[in-house]
Amino acid sequence: MLDRKMLAALNDQVNAELYSAYLYLAMSAHFESMGLPGFASWMKVQAQEEMVHAMKFFNFILDRGGKADLAAIEKPKGTWKSASEMFGDALAHEEYITKRIHDLVALAAKVNDKATESFLQWYVDEQVEEEKSATDMLQKTKMVEKAPGALYFVDREAATRVFTMPAGVTI
Ligand code: FEO
């Protein structure tokens, strides 16, 4: 049985992960409008990964006998000045999500919920990757932004990213 505060925090995190998907979809749409389909595709893959993150929390709540409680998803920002500004926002968002995950781990420890602590370890590791991939894209786009030809090649490279469903997840 989940602790009441733990359940509420896990439900909040479902919302935060769905918002992440929404934010990256908004970025994908904006990249399309900038004529950068590779980055748009990269962001769409990112949004799919966020759906997986949300569904893993959702399924875990149900597996533990909790009630999933879905709140409204905040409207994300819709326009950015440049590719690097978008990846800068993506990195800041991932750092925020990392902090949220670490706070969840602290709460699970406080309420002595070993199962939730163990479940959250996947997210602790995943956030290292999330921050790394946003940082890599930020560095690349910053480097080439003043050279449209080079930006074109980075955009093409970004298009090669594909979504892979992690084992054992259904959405
Ligand atoms: Fe679900 Fe990008 O963290």
- Tens of pLDDT, residue by residue over 126-140, are 999 999 999 999 999
Q: Which atom of ligand 1 is nearest to the CA of 24?
A: 2
- Closest residue by Cα to residue 83 from 148, 18, 130: 148
Task: Note the pTM of the prediction, 2 decimals.
Answer: 0.96
The answer to whether the beta carbons of residues 110 and 147 sit under 8 Å apart is no
164: which DSSP letter? -
pLDDT at 148: 84
* DSSP 8-state assignment for residue 76: P
Extents of the domains making up the chain: 4-158
Q: What is the CATH class of 4-158?
A: mainly alpha
- Taking only the tens place, the pLDDT of each residue in 38-56 is 999 999 999 999 999 999 9
Q: What is the pLDDT of residue 167?
A: 81
Q: Which residues line ligand 1 (CB under 6 A)?
A: 17, 20, 50, 53, 94, 97, 130
Residue 162 near residue 104 (C-beta atoms within 8 A)? no
**Unique residue bearing structure tokens 């000045």:** 81
CB of 87 closer than 8 Å to CB of 141: yes
Q: How far is the CA of 144 from the centre of ligand 1 (A)?
A: 26
